[in-house]
Structure 1
Amino acid sequence: MGVIQRVVKPRNSRSKRALEKREPKNIENTKQCLFFVGKKASEEMRRCLRDLYSLRKHHSLHLSRKHPDMAPCVDILPVERLGQKHDASLFCYVARTKKHQNNMVIGRMFNHHLLDLIEVDVSDFRSLAKFNNPKGAEGTKPCLTFAGPGWEDDAALRTLKSLLLDLFRGVEATAVRLQGFELALQFVAVDSKTVLMRGYSIHLKKSGLRTPRIELDLIGPCMTLHLQRSRLASDDLMKRACRQPKQVKANRVKNISKDVFGSRLGRIHMTSQDLGGLQTRKLKGLKKVEDRDGADGGSGGGGGGGGEEEQMELE
């Protein structure tokens, strides 16, 4: 028996605007992310959560109080209710258990239900505060790089890569300025269970050429992620989550293609043409001359005179 979903009716204009903001849209809003702590968490993991929150401060919510009933890998229903309450589709959760002292879970939801999540164990953590190098401006979009063949071969690493891209994506940018690259996050897949994370500040130096010389300074956060449990989305659920409405899809233009250089090529279908009546350029030297033999009465002298006149006309 299906569960009947309660219909919420707005009581005033303010609640009506809030409900309209949460309604499905052709172009969705920027994804909101929740950062919260479980029943127990070490001070190191709390600092790690604050550093990740500082990298994505806009469109994020850091819940300072503890949530003892939260255990995403065991029971996802409380997390789904919390995400629906704050209209958030991403979450980052840290806790401490007997088996995993530095436990972190990154996940995302679709239609207020779990889509996928990855549980990692954090080690060798170094906070942003441990580096004296100057940091970038607040709200800077980081440049993410992924090294290692495992990101394309392993299913869990592919999901982790997609989660990290969604976590640090922020507002979608239509244009990029070169001076806007101030922060770089590098993720290196050592093997199918170990990922190294490093944070660098980007400095553009003069090189004497049009392309500047790039220098990187380690600013953190730095950590090693050990993959633990995971809940991957099925192919059918992922297909539904990635579906785009017809209004967003670009209309396909028929008989137009692009080559390897990006030039647009068009194909025109035409009926067969009669080239006999084709209008061509008229030249004075090829002008048609009337025959004057009939006007001279067919006499020999007249014929000779007509030939001279025709020769002069061609000249």
Structure 2
Amino acid sequence: MLDVTVLFPVCQRVQEVRVCRATEVYRSEMAQSGGVLKPKTRRSKRFLQNREAKQTENSKHAMIMKGGNTSETVTLALKDIFALKKPNAVLYKKKNIMRPFEDSTSLEFFSKKSDCSLFLFGSHNKKRPNNLIFGRMFDFHVLDMFELGIEKFTALKELKNTKCAEGTKPMLVFAGELFETDKEYTRLRSVLTDFFRGPSVSAVRLAGLDHVLHFTALDGKIYLRSYKVLLKKSGCRTPRIELEEMGPSLDLVVRRTHLSSDDLYRTALRQPRGVK
């Protein structure tokens, strides 16, 4: 019989070679074209025009992927966060051999390929078990990254109650002095806001406000809780509001961080003329 333990490292190596080749081809094409892709058909022209800079940008999409080694906890966490992000997210089901903090080239390649400015990368090893990396891009280059370790996790399926509809725009609540006073936590709040806020809208129907994401920063940890808003009868016109935990629930510890320079961060925040 064929030993599966012998095949596993070979498969990992093949996956790593494919990613490297794809990255090399991408670099070669961009170098030959001077960094500008020229459309050959009308369809590709419309596709590239949709990716061009706009005064009012499209909704931010996130790519969610797992590394070469993952645990059941990480896999379930990625699926549940993807469920909260749908339809503005892409879930990569195959494993991707990469280390974002050591080399972000492959991550930037996938960002360009899928047109995603946000990413969530999950991995697991002895040194950093149950690891999640939240990050965002600027011009398809890594801007900020935060590595968070999962200490406790409750999945969506573990809480037997009604869930919010797909695509619901959540209300974000950040509690904790660190989000206001510490530079890294302030930037982390900005990344989490970008990741979970959903599409920009001009108006919101009151009945549509049925999902709350609550983040608490305390003693170097981030506590994420997800609630469904319930409108109960109160005997008057204004309903009584109750929060029911629906999952997922994560207790996270902050590990490594990668912050862009202040100049690059200001450039990323700059808005074109004509935008109010």
Q: Same fold (TM over 0.5)?
A: yes
Give, as a single letter, the amino acid of the residue that structure 2 aligns with 1:140. T
User: How far apart, in 1, do the equivalents of 2:246 and 2:61 lie?
Assistant: 26
Task: Please identify the structure whose Cα radius of gyration is greater.
Answer: 1
* 1:113-192 map, 5 Å: 113-191=141-219
* 1:1-315 map, 5 Å: 5-68=34-97, 70-191=98-219, 193-249=220-276
User: How far apart, in 2, do the equivalents of 1:30 and 1:79 lie?
Assistant: 20
Instruction: Answer whether contact 1:90 1:167 (CA < 8 A) is retained.
Output: yes
User: How far apart, in 2, do the equivalents of 1:122 and 1:52 lie?
Assistant: 13
Q: Where does structure 2 lack aligned partners over 5 or more consecutive residues?
A: 1-30
Partner deviation per Cα, 1:144-185 (whole Å, 9 max, x = no partner)? 111111111111211111111111122112112211111111
Q: Where does structure 1 lack aligned partners over 5 or more consecutive residues?
A: 250-315
User: How far apart, in 1, do the equivalents of 2:102 and 2:141 lie?
Assistant: 15
Instruction: Answer whether contact 1:58 1:170 (CA < 8 A) is retained.
Output: no
Shift of 1:12: 0.8
Identity across the alignment (%): 42
Equivalent position of 1:304 in the other structure: none
Greater per-residue helix proportion = 2
SS of 1:244 mapped into structure 2? coil
**Count of matched residue pairs:** 246
SS of 1:136 mapped into structure 2? coil
Give, as a single letter, the amino acid of the residue that structure 2 aligns with 1:134. T
User: How far apart, in 2, do the equivalents of 1:108 and 1:5 lie?
Assistant: 25
User: How far apart, in 2, do the equivalents of 1:3 and 1:241 lie?
Assistant: 27
User: How far apart, in 1, do the equivalents of 2:80 and 2:122 lie?
Assistant: 13
Partner deviation per Cα, 1:277-302 (whole Å, 9 max, x = no partner)? xxxxxxxxxxxxxxxxxxxxxxxxxx
User: How far apart, in 2, do the equivalents of 1:98 and 1:63 lie?
Assistant: 23
Shift of 1:123: 1.4
Instruction: Answer whether contact 2:70 2:123 (CA < 8 A) is retained.
Output: yes
> Whose relative contact order is higher, 1 or 2, with alpha carbons under 8 Å and at least 6 apart?
2
User: How far apart, in 2, do the equivalents of 1:210 and 1:248 lie?
Assistant: 39
Equivalent position of 1:253 in the other structure: none
User: How far apart, in 2, do the equivalents of 1:217 and 1:197 lie?
Assistant: 14
User: How far apart, in 2, do the equivalents of 1:102 and 1:188 lie?
Assistant: 20
User: How far apart, in 2, do the equivalents of 1:9 and 1:164 lie?
Assistant: 35
User: How far apart, in 2, do the equivalents of 1:223 and 1:105 lie?
Assistant: 14
User: How far apart, in 1, do the equivalents of 2:144 and 2:118 lie?
Assistant: 10
SS of 1:125 mapped into structure 2? strand
Instruction: Answer whether contact 2:170 2:198 (CA < 8 A) is retained.
Output: no
Give the TM-score, by structure 2 length. 0.86
User: How far apart, in 2, do the equivalents of 1:55 and 1:81 lie?
Assistant: 25
Give the TM-score, by structure 1 length. 0.75
SS of 1:5 mapped into structure 2? coil
Instruction: Answer whether contact 1:121 1:227 (CA < 8 A) is retained.
Output: yes
Give, as a single letter, the amino acid of the residue that structure 2 aligns with 1:232. L
Instruction: Answer whether contact 2:71 2:123 (CA < 8 A) is retained.
Output: yes
User: How far apart, in 1, do the equivalents of 2:95 and 2:34 lie?
Assistant: 29
CA RMSD, Structure 1 to Structure 2 (Å) = 1.5
User: How far apart, in 2, do the equivalents of 1:149 and 1:3 lie?
Assistant: 50
Instruction: Answer whether contact 2:120 2:135 (CA < 8 A) is retained.
Output: yes
Shift of 1:11: 1.0
SS of 1:44 mapped into structure 2? helix
Shift of 1:55: 0.3
